[in-house]
Amino acid sequence: MNIVLCGMMGSGKTTTGIRISELTGMRWYDTDDLITQKYGKISDIFEFYGEARFRELETEVVRSVAGEENCVISTGGGCVLKPENSAAFKESGGKIVFLKASIETLFARAGHTGDERPLLKNTTFGHMKALLDARTPVYVGCADVTVETDGKSVDEVAREVISACGVQVRA
């Protein structure tokens, strides 16, 4: 069984995924890292080829990792917006976990990261809130579990995800 973390940029998918991996011994993958390793910087892909091409590459990566077993997969913020990506994760027995955070938390964590995150380039609080409002129904709709992250440490969030997914912490 795989644990697939979804949610907005800044929700803690990467740090939580790493911590779950440490606690359980499950392999950890980050879809954005895999894209970067294979195709180059995400900001360059967006700039030269556009978001549509980036989403195609993301789906390729999803197909390759969804078939793995006993993994934690941290997805990019828009990954599960494409129904075929969430379907691929579910078909392989993955549990999708929505890491939910308030707009205030998300903006504080990621609002200044436009150089690395093309969709946040020159972003404002209002733009990020609109993005969150548009994406939240999709996250909720595809998730098997929702974990609130506001006011919790990475360890607390990771342990809550592990518990909700029925995975054992290694001794």
Question: pLDDT at position 114, please?
Answer: 47
Q: What type of residue is 115?
A: D
Question: pLDDT at position 28, please?
Answer: 98
How much is the pTM?
0.92
How far CA 168 is from CA of 63, 92, 117, 120, in Å, comes to: 26, 20, 33, 36
Question: pLDDT at position 69, please?
Answer: 93
Rounded Cα–Cα distance for residues 77 and 159 (Å): 21
Ordered structural domains, the chain, with CATH: 3-165 (3.40.50.300)
User: Average pLDDT of each block of 10 consecutive residues along the chain (171 residues)?
Assistant: 95 97 97 95 90 94 95 95 95 95 88 52 78 95 97 97 95 69
Question: pLDDT at position 75, please?
Answer: 97
Question: pLDDT at position 120, please?
Answer: 54
